[in-house]
Amino acid sequence: MILILQLLLALSLRADGYYIYIVVDCISSSSDLADVEYINTYYFNKAPYIRFNSTVGEYVGYTEFGIMNAERWNKGPEVQQQRGELERYCKPNLKLDYSNILEKAVQPKIRLRSEKQASQGHPALLMCSAYGFYPPVIDIYWLRDGEKVTSGVITSEPMANGNWYYQIHSYLEYTPASGEKISCVVEHTSSKKPIIVDWEGSFTNSDMAKIIVGASGFVLGIILSTAGFLYYKMKSPDFL
C-alpha cells in the first residue's frame, strides 16, 4: 500500500482568478520507509513550475520562470534546507502514520449471496459485501474460473458506518453455466493475501424441479405408509 502524506502549504487566491499553491508530499510504499521520497512542488494555475524531489536532490524548473528560480535556489540555502526535509519531516511523520493508521487495520468480514436468481433469459445477480474494515482503502473484484471479470460488475464506494469502520458492496450480473467457478476477491491492507470467497452455487430451475419431485415423493410415501399402518391396525383383532 502506498502512503502519501500530503500538505497543502499555501493557497493564494487573487481577485483576477490566478492562484499559486505549494504541495509537499511524502510518498512511501512500505512501512520500513525503504523508498520514501520527499516532493515539494509549486503550482501556478494547476501547472507545476518548480519541484524539489529528494531522489533528484535539487530543484527542477518546468517553465521559464521555474527554470530561472531553480538555478537560483540550487545555489542558495533553499536547496540545503530541502535536502534535510526527508529525514526531518517525512520519516518521523510517516512512521507515526503507519503505526497510527495502517497498522491498526481491521479485516473485513465478507458475505457472498444471491440477490436474484436467473430466470428466462435474465441473468442472476450476486452480491459480495465486505463489512467492518479499516482503513477504507480496499479493492473488491470478481473471478470467473480464475480470470478477473470486467463486465457486468457494479461496485459501490467504501461507505462509512460512522464508527471508523467501513463497508463496500459489489454486484455481479452473470448467467450460470455448469462447472464454472465464481469467486469474490477482497484485497485490503489488513491481510497479506487476497481474501477469496467462492460462490457455492444456487439451485438452477432444473435442480429445483428435481428437489420438488423428490420432496413430493417423500411426502406421498409418508402418507401412504401411515394410511397402510392405520388400515392394518383397524383390521387387526385387538383393535379397540
Ligand X SMILES: *[C@@H]1O[C@H](CO)[C@@H](O)[C@H](O)[C@H]1NC(C)=O
What's the Cα-to-Cα distance from 161 to each of 82, 118, 127, 134, 137, rounded to whole Å?
Answer: 41, 32, 19, 11, 14
Question: Cβ–Cβ contacts within 10 Å for residue 4, how many?
Answer: 13
- Pick 66 or 108: Cβ nearer ligand X: 66
Number of residues binding to ligand X, judged by CB under 6 A: 5
Q: Does 138 bind ligand X (CB under 6 A)?
A: no
Q: Does 39 bind ligand X (CB under 6 A)?
A: yes
Q: Does 53 bind ligand X (CB under 6 A)?
A: yes
- Pick 4 or 196: Cβ nearer ligand X: 4
- Pick 7 or 212: Cβ nearer ligand X: 7
What is the SS3 assignment for 25? strand
- Pick 62 or 165: Cβ nearer ligand X: 62
Closest approach of ligand X to the CB of residue 136, in Å:
24
Question: Cβ–Cβ contacts within 10 Å for residue 91, how many?
Answer: 16
Kindly tell me which residue out of 6, 30, 45, 55 binds ligand X, with binding defined by CB under 6 A.
Answer: 55
Closest approach of ligand X to the CB of residue 56, in Å:
5
- Pick 86 or 126: Cβ nearer ligand X: 86
Closest approach of ligand X to the CB of residue 55, in Å:
4
Kindly tell me which residue out of 1, 24, 37, 153 binds ligand X, with binding defined by CB under 6 A.
Answer: 37
The residue number with the shortest CB distance to ligand X is 53
Closest approach of ligand X to the CB of residue 72, in Å:
21
Backbone angles phi, psi at 95, to 5 degrees: -60, -45
Q: Does 29 bind ligand X (CB under 6 A)?
A: no
Closest approach of ligand X to the CB of residue 2, in Å:
11
Q: What ranges make up the beta strands (E) of the chain?
A: 3-13, 19-28, 37-44, 47-53, 59-61, 109-116, 124-133, 138-144, 147-148, 153-155, 159-160, 166-174, 182-188, 195-198
Long-range contacts, 159-165 (Cβ 8 Å, 24+) = 160/136, 161/132, 164/134, 165/106, 165/131, 165/132, 165/133, 165/134
C-alpha cell, 19:
492562484
Closest approach of ligand X to the CB of residue 25, in Å:
7
Q: Does 6 bind ligand X (CB under 6 A)?
A: no
Which positions lie near ligand X, rule CB under 6 A?
A: 37, 39, 53, 55-56
